[in-house]
Chains A and B, each alone.
Chain A
Amino acid sequence: MLAYLLSRAAQFVVALVVASVVVFLLMSFLPGNAAQVALGTNATPEAVAALEAQYGLDEPPLIRYLQWVAGMLGGDFGTSYVTGAPITPVIIASVQVTAILVVCSIVVAVLIAVPLGTFAALEQRNWIGVTISALSQVGIAVPNFLAAIILVMIFSLQLGWFPSQGWMASIEGVGGFLARLVLPVVSLALVQAAILTRYVRSAVLDVMREDYIRTARAKGLTRTRALFVHGLRNAAIPVITVAGVQLATLLVGAVIIEQVFVIPGVGSELVRAVANRDLVTVQGIVMVLVMLVLIINFIVDLLYPIVDPRIRSAA
């Protein structure tokens, strides 16, 4: 078990290093000189050179990479060439917002998908099961920004229950925080729930055909109870994999939803930085996103041995 943990942790670190190299190279080879961009087109070559020296852009790439990594390890993502302000506080603030949004969305998605998918599997021959399947199919086809616009039209413009946009930190007022959270979370969660429902349904259907379910029924459990006692945990294994991938896509999918609802999350910061050609900030945010995705995968890897003793003893 310890060996499994250490090997996963080692894989995590290796992936992180590879990712940082890729992100750094991509940003370095983008056309345009960061100092030139910061000073504008009218700057003299001397001024550009001076700024390059100030930011260390005249150093060889390897040195710049190592400085960047060393900075990140110390919690410093560098200074924006455009605003001249340190990037770290911006990233911390926006990551918090996005994390709340994404975690709430996946929780809501799982809470909807697991019961609905299970029910759809149990009732697969009835109209209820067929209806759930059909609805989840429709849900997958709806892009989340469209869901967001429709939800805003109904629940904030028509009914006036929730604000149509904006964000409020929870310390400024829990009520306001929650009210502004509902619509973005629901629009992100609905689509994910639709996808996840289909996976839960097919995982449960597969499990119901397993021999051990038949064994459980032969012991004297009813079909439904056999599913709850023996089936769901087995069905969880493929569902965890999908939910992990979904969490990663949510992180990126949030970029659009943050735009729709004007939420100061990672997505909004990223869009702003790209618009301003603020390369250092873009590089920092992309690195943080990659890091978060890798952390999610790492956590999913740790969940497998908890659920499945076969992986535990293979480890």
Chain B
Amino acid sequence: MAENLLEVRDLTITPAGAPAPVLDDVSLTLAPGERVGLIGESGSGKSLTAQSIMGLLPEELSASGSITLDGFAGNVLAAGEKTLARVRSTLVSMVFQEPMSALNPLMRIGDQIAEALRIHGETGRARIPGRVLELLHDVHMPSPESARQAYPHQLSGGQRQRVMLAIALANSPRLLICDEPTTALDVTVQKHMLDLIAERVTAVAAGLLFITHDLAVVAGVCNRVIVMHRGRIVETGTVREIFANPQHEYTRGLLASSDLESTDADGRLYTLRTALEYAGPGRTADAAGATTSAMEPGSGRAQGAASPTTSAGVTAHAPLIEVAGVSKLYRSGGFLLRRKAPVQALEDITFSVDAGRRLGIVGESGSGKSTLLNILSGLDRPTTGQVRVGDIRVDSASSAALRTLRENLQIVFQDPFSSLDPRMRVEDIVAEPLVAQGMEREERRAKVADMLAAVDIDRSSMRRYPHQFSGGQRQRISIARALVTRPQILVADEPVSALDVSVRAQVLNLLTDLVDEYALTLVFVSHDLGVVKHLCSEVIVMKDGHIVEAGATDEVYADPQQDYTRDLIAATPSLAAAVAAAQ
């Protein structure tokens, strides 16, 4: 066997003052040209491992153990910054998760790529501009010539991530590390990016260490998978071994909770806890049956799909939510002379939702989903059109009417980290909507305790602050806050997209239970079709401020009428497809 490209031995990191190491005896190897997926949830230590290999650990952390790279004499962990700087980009390179902040906002794209070439001095100065164009061309940048002159803020997230890849591959490194490179991207963009990474890594014959929390993503890109849990490596194997015959309990749990197409006997998604009963994604027939049966309570309550245009005439009773001809135009207002072309965020949106139904709104970033939610919940007003929720005309409601609306319609936001006030105790956060209603203190406390119990937050932690909870727990707190007033309608804006796969299943199950228990009408916005398919009875697909397609979820998925919908469905990573591809 050829000598390993990368060897990590007994890598251990214990932060000062911490009781236990955050990385515990991690050892792994990577052969030249091999593609390895490093899987785990947030806090499992996968990013720390990558940063150690690059010599980019935060200053306050020190690591023990050894990391050796073929072509570099000595231990990376012991090397000085100057020595490491020569190795980075030429021997080992990295693409980071957040494309929005990873590029210098004040520097042109071309200069940022050129810099990577210039500092290592391997490309002659005269050849650098040509090489920059070539690199931009290689990552399939639309019009490389003008991209070179652009600043980062003028590019989309996907384009910026392409630029990051161009920078990482500028000096043809032997090893490329990608740390969640597609997590912040839309599904269709994610698919292109994954294909591109695979293509470029093959082209320059580099090894790949691909870090992700999403098993469905890793299958298409890697040959071998390493599973990390709480700072330790729990399992290693080929993609096929891991998917078909996972040995470790945690791997099985991860696999089970990644699968949005299979449900257990009660019609709930598998979680780490129920993973033992999980039979694997191979049995798609059973899984599909289970999914349909899970939908039955919802579909039984209100017959006749409330799809946008057809339903209005058919159903006798008035729908709970009615949106008619809504458009929203954003004018960049300014003082005196600053006038720009207005942006059409929404155009002629019409749909309705019957009481007790679950509507999914799907689309990529910039499709107008969030604008629509804001208008629906009275946070923003449409330029034209009408919105009715219950008896309230939201588009022209007075502030008193909007207060009534808020009691009836509550929102759960995307980011569990920034949507809770960090200086308020959890019980106060959940009680806040009740305070707004003017409820007595004692009654409030009892309600808050009940609600927190309903979302599985321990009574004893009611007096804690948000930062003392994990992302999944915070999102459950957000849900508790939304439901404490017993609203009729719950609006959820990407509530699980910032969560780990394993936590996602728990939160989705909780949402399903609560929607049933409280007889809620759900409006669920997501870019993830898998989640919407599991949760919603009807779906609206949006693109560029228009509704492209609408109807019953099963029908739209089984037989999409529009190319855009087909592309979205095809691009959604599916565990079943991943396993099929691996075998």
**How far is A125 from B335 in the complex, measured between Cα atoms in Å?**
46
Interface residues of B in 441-477 (CB under 8 A from A): none
Between A and B, how many residue pairs show CB distances below 8 Å? 94
Chain B's closest residue to A229 (CB) is: B115
Contact B337–A219 (Cβ < 8 Å): no
11 contacts between A and B (CB under 8 A): A6-B337, A215-B104, A218-B168, A219-B88, A220-B86, A221-B115, A223-B81, A233-B106, A234-B105, A309-B153, A310-B153
Q: Is the CB of A219 within 8 A of B89?
A: yes
Q: Which residue of A lies closest to B336 (CB)?
A: A10
B126 within 8 A of A: no
Is chain B's binding surface mostly helix, strand, loop or mixed?
loop
A182 within 8 A of B: no
Query: A219 contacts B336, CB within 8 Å?
Result: no
Q: Which residues from 257 to 315 on chain A have a C-beta closer than 8 Å to any C-beta of chain B?
A: 307-310, 313, 315
> Is the beta-carbon distance between B338 and A7 smaller than 8 angstroms?
yes
Q: Which residues of A contact B90 (CB under 8 A)?
A: 220
Selecting from B95-103, B267-275, B292-300, B321-329, the interface stretch reads B95-103
- With A234-B104, A234-B106, A309-B106 already in contact, the answer to whether A220 and B89 are too (CB < 8 A) is yes
Interface string of A187-221 (1 = CB under 8 A from B): 00000000000000000000000111011111111
Contact status B337-A220, CB under 8 Å: no
Task: Please tell me if the beta carbons of A218 and B56 are within 8 angstroms of each other in the complex.
Answer: yes
CB–CB B337/A10 < 8 A: yes
A4 contacts partner chain B, Cβ-Cβ < 8 Å: yes
A55 CB to nearest chain B CB (Å): 37
Give the contacts of B75-114 with A (CB-CB under 8 A).
81-82, 85-90, 93-94, 96, 98, 101-107
Interface core residue of B56, B106, B107 (most chain A CB under 10 Å) = B106
B120 at the interface (CB under 8 A from A): yes
B62 to chain A, nearest CB (A): 13
B 119-158 to A, binary, CB cutoff 8 A, 1 in contact else 0: 1100000000000000000000000000000010110000
The reply to whether the CB of B116 lies closer than 8 angstroms to some CB of chain A is yes
Partner among A7, A219, A307 whose Cβ is within 8 Å of the Cβ of B334: A7
Interface check A11, CB cutoff 8 A: yes
Residues of B that sit less than 8 Å from A by CB: 54, 56, 59, 81-82, 85-90, 93-94, 96, 98, 101-107, 115-116, 119-120, 151, 153-154, 164, 167-168, 170-171, 334-339
Beta-carbon contact of B105 and A309 below 8 Å: yes
Q: Enumerate chain B residues within 8 angstroms of A315, measured Cβ to Cβ.
A: 338
Closest 6 CB pairs of A and B: A211-B101, A220-B89, A219-B116, A309-B151, A212-B104, A211-B102
Partner of B85, one of A7, A10, A221, A309: A221
Q: Which residues of A contact B154 (CB under 8 A)?
A: 313
Known: A11-B335, A214-B56, A313-B153. A219 touches B119 (CB 8 A): yes
- Contact at A7–B151, with CB atoms within 8 Å? no
Name the one of B56, B104, B151, B339 contacting A230, with C-beta atoms under 8 angstroms: B104
Q: Which B residues touch A234, using CB under 8 A? A: 104-106
B151 and A313 contacting across the interface, CB-CB below 8 Å? yes
Residue from B94, B101, B106, B334 in contact with A218 in the complex, judged by beta carbons closer than 8 Å:
B94
Q: Given the interface contacts A6-B336, A229-B115, does A307 sit within 8 Å of B106 by beta carbon?
A: yes
